[in-house]
């Protein structure tokens, strides 16, 4: 059961005591929704988008392009028509562009604004304005862009658009946001911009360029990397698409289906881009019962995911595994908490600069739940226990809390014995902790600061309510 508390920003969760069998849909993919609005706005002509994510981050992108003079009609709740005005059809905004909590909006739009001949300022919430931007400021400056940030690294960012020079850029960190920012700037450069990524990252931007018939090439390298070559000054054709369900949102329900005894959850029409489904491959290695059915390929790969209760074993995650599951670590940590053995994650330092320091947030919260976990500089470790929920329930019933306290020294509980957990303002930490709380049979947990869930998944509680009734 989930109850919204009086402050309207915390929930009380009582762990489930019966299995779930359910079929659900999740909202349109967030990464694709951002790109659809951006690339539709600078296309020549009208584009229609169905199943757009209407999360706060995505609505911020729609508002940003309206401020830049683009007409975007809302046809239905998740359906929009963009009246694209070409590469140079944007107008100087009269005010700052609010990027809310969105790193993707901030970093991608910077590439477009850097090539447009006007002044603009980007600023977001306190979390966004603490995230590093040197990763885009430095390469954009190499292209001749005039872009400045607080301490040369943080938003607000101010940009005076200008003519850009093409560059060859060897990406120092795997990041689809940085890659996409430079592809966008490349559209405005005088010649061919070439980007090399050693570790492949999500390729939604490249897929849009193909869909829009834009002149560019993409080639695999012998070391398993990728070279992207974008010609400046081409024309982007408009498009009509239906955005598949967001795999990162589906991941919370996959976890519930796998971990709740005798359960099965089916999630329909989910994006299955190879660079996004790393978690599925990892789960298979952990012995998960997870199947893809009804697989098909359109401008992106799509299918239905079926996740059934599984006894999982621990796993070691290394640097190569990280980019393909970068947003799934908070929920992966929950899964690892119920897998037999010690799970380790290395090569994931990027998690420290996401919406919050996710390594710290994961480890602090798991320890509060009494699950043994510790931080590494570049990852974390979790001692999993497949029987944790049953053990906790037994102690709960027999009132032997001293025993529990001895077993789980780190656990922090309120006076009534319930756990007290924080989201650190991070939507994915909040949702992961709610799933974990639901898995602790009959146990009560307060999860605080949950309004941030609207950042990516405003319908999260509605779907949960539907399936746990």
Is 202 an interacting residue with respect to ligand S3P (CB under 6 A)?
A: yes
Is 177 an interacting residue with respect to ligand S3P (CB under 6 A)?
A: yes
Site string for ligand S3P, 328-357 (x = CB under 6 A): ----------------------x-------
150: which residues sit within 8 A by CB, 6+ positions away? 129, 156
Residue 267, token pair as written in the block: 């999630």
Phi, psi of 458 (to 5 degrees): -60, -25
Choose, by CB under 6 A, the member of 47, 175, 199, 445 that binds ligand S3P: 175
What span, in angstroms and rounded, lies between the C-alpha atoms of 150 and 86?
Answer: 31
Least distance from C-beta 65 to ligand S3P, angstroms? 16
Cβ distance to ligand S3P smaller for residue 85 or 101: 101
Interaxial angle between packed helices 278-285 and 247-259, expressed in degrees from 0 to 180 and rounded to the nearest 10? 20
> For 413, which DSSP code?
B
Least distance from C-beta 5 to ligand S3P, angstroms? 28
Residue 376, token pair as written in the block: 């590494």
Choose, by CB under 6 A, the member of 180, 356, 364, 445 that binds ligand S3P: 180
Measure CA 335 to chain center. Answer: 17
Choose, by CB under 6 A, the member of 57, 197, 206, 327 that binds ligand S3P: 327
Least distance from C-beta 143 to ligand S3P, angstroms? 19
Distances (CA, A) of 406 to 266, 294, 400, 403: 39, 49, 10, 5
Q: What is the CB neighbour count within 10 angstroms for residue 183?
A: 22
Cβ distance to ligand S3P smaller for residue 171 or 258: 171
Choose, by CB under 6 A, the member of 41, 99, 104, 455 that binds ligand S3P: 104
DSSP bridge pairs for 384: 341
| Residue with tokens 């698409």, as numbered in its chain | 241
Measure CA 402 to chain center. Answer: 39
What is the β-pairing status of strands 21-25 and 264-271?
A: parallel
Cβ distance to ligand S3P smaller for residue 22 or 106: 106
Least distance from C-beta 76 to ligand S3P, angstroms? 24
Q: Which stretch binds ligand S3P (CB under 6 A): 46-54, 171-179, 182-190, 399-407?
A: 171-179
Per the annotation, the verdict on 327 as an active-site residue is yes
Least distance from C-beta 370 to ligand S3P, angstroms? 29
Catalytic, out of 170, 327, 357, 420: 327
CA dihedral angle for residue 267, residue 291, residue 285, residue 15, rounded to 10 degrees? 40
Cβ distance to ligand S3P smaller for residue 227 or 314: 227
Task: Number of residues interacting with ligand S3P: please give it, by CB under 6 A.
Answer: 11
Is 102 an interacting residue with respect to ligand S3P (CB under 6 A)?
A: no
Q: Which stretch binds ligand S3P (CB under 6 A): 46-54, 89-97, 173-181, 183-191?
A: 173-181
Q: Which stretch binds ligand S3P (CB under 6 A): 4-12, 83-91, 172-180, 367-375?
A: 172-180
194: which residues sit within 8 A by CB, 6+ positions away? 166, 167, 168, 169, 227, 228, 229, 230
Cβ distance to ligand S3P smaller for residue 321 or 444: 321
Residue 354, token pair as written in the block: 């996401």
DSSP bridge pairs for 80: 49, 74
Residue 469, token pair as written in the block: 């009734």
Least distance from C-beta 248 to ligand S3P, angstroms? 7
115: which residues sit within 8 A by CB, 6+ positions away? 87, 145, 161, 162, 163, 164, 184, 185, 187, 188, 189
Choose, by CB under 6 A, the member of 10, 31, 263, 423 that binds ligand S3P: 31
- The answer to whether 74 and 65 are in contact (CB under 8 A) is no
Q: Which stretch binds ligand S3P (CB under 6 A): 142-150, 176-184, 273-281, 461-469?
A: 176-184
| Residue nearest ligand S3P (C-beta atom) | 31
Choose, by CB under 6 A, the member of 80, 122, 159, 176 that binds ligand S3P: 176
Least distance from C-beta 428 to ligand S3P, angstroms? 9
- The answer to whether 48 and 80 are in contact (CB under 8 A) is yes
Residue 434, token pair as written in the block: 């709610």
Cβ distance to ligand S3P smaller for residue 93 or 174: 174
Cβ distance to ligand S3P smaller for residue 243 or 446: 243
Q: What is the CB neighbour count within 10 angstroms for residue 155?
A: 23
Is 326 an interacting residue with respect to ligand S3P (CB under 6 A)?
A: yes
Q: Which stretch binds ligand S3P (CB under 6 A): 158-166, 170-178, 192-200, 239-247?
A: 170-178
Catalytic residue positions?
Answer: 327
Binding site for ligand S3P (CB under 6 A): 31, 104, 175-177, 180, 201-202, 326-327, 350
């Amino acid at each position: 059961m989930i109850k919204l508390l009086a402050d309207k920003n915390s929930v009380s969760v009582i762990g489930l005591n019966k299995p779930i069998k359910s079929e659900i849909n999740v909202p349109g993919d967030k990464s694709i929704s951002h790109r659809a609005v951006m690339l539709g706005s600078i296309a020549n002509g009208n584009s229609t988008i169905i199943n757009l994510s209407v999360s706060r981050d995505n609505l911020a992108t729609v508002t940003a392009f309206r401020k830049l003079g683009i007409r975007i009609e809302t046809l239905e709740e998740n359906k929009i028509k963009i009246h694209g005005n070409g590469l140079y059809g944007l107008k100087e905004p009269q005010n700052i562009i609010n990027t809310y909590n969105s790193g993707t909006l901030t970093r991608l739009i910077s590439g477009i604004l850097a090539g447009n001949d006007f002044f603009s300022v980007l600023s977001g919430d306190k979390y966004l304005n603490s995230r590093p931007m040197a990763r885009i400021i430095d390469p954009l400056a190499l292209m001749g862009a005039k872009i400045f940030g607080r301490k040369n690294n943080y938003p607000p960012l101010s940009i005076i658009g200008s003519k850009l020079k093409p560059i060859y850029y060897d990406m120092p960190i795997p990041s689809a946001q940085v890659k996409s920012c430079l592809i966008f700037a490349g559209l405005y450069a005088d010649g061919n911009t070439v980007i090399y990524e050693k570790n492949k990252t999500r390729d939604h931007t490249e897929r849009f360029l193909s869909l829009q018939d834009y002149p560019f090439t993409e080639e695999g390298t012998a070391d398993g990397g990728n070279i992207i070559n974008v010609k400046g000054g081409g024309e982007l054709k408009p498009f009509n698409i239906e955005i598949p369900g967001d795999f990162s949102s589906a991941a919370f329900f996959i976890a519930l289906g796998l971990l709740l005894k005798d359960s099965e959850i089916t999630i329909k029409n989910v994006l299955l881009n190879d660079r996004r489904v790393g978690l599925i491959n990892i789960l298979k290695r952990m012995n998960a019962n997870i199947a893809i059915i009804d697989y098909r390929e359109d401008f992106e790969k799509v299918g239905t995911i079926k996740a059934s209760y599984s006894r999982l074993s621990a796993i070691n995650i290394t640097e190569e595994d990280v980019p393909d599951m970068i947003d799934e670590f908070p929920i992966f940590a929950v899964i690892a908490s119920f897998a037999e053995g010690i799970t380790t994650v290395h090569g994931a330092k990027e998690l420290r600069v996401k919406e919050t320091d996710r390594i710290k947030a994961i480890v602090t919260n798991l320890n509060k739940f009494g699950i043994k976990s510790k931080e590494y500089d570049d990852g974390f470790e979790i001692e999993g226990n497949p029987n944790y929920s049953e053990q906790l329930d037994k102690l709960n019933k027999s009132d032997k809390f001293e025993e529990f306290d001895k077993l789980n020294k780190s656990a922090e509980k309120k006076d009534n014995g319930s756990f007290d957990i924080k989201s650190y303002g991070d939507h994915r930490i909040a949702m992961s902790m709610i799933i974990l709380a639901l898995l602790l049979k009959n146990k009560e947990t307060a999860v605080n600061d949950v309004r941030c869930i609207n950042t990516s998944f405003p319908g999260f509680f509605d779907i949960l309510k539907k399936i746990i009734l």
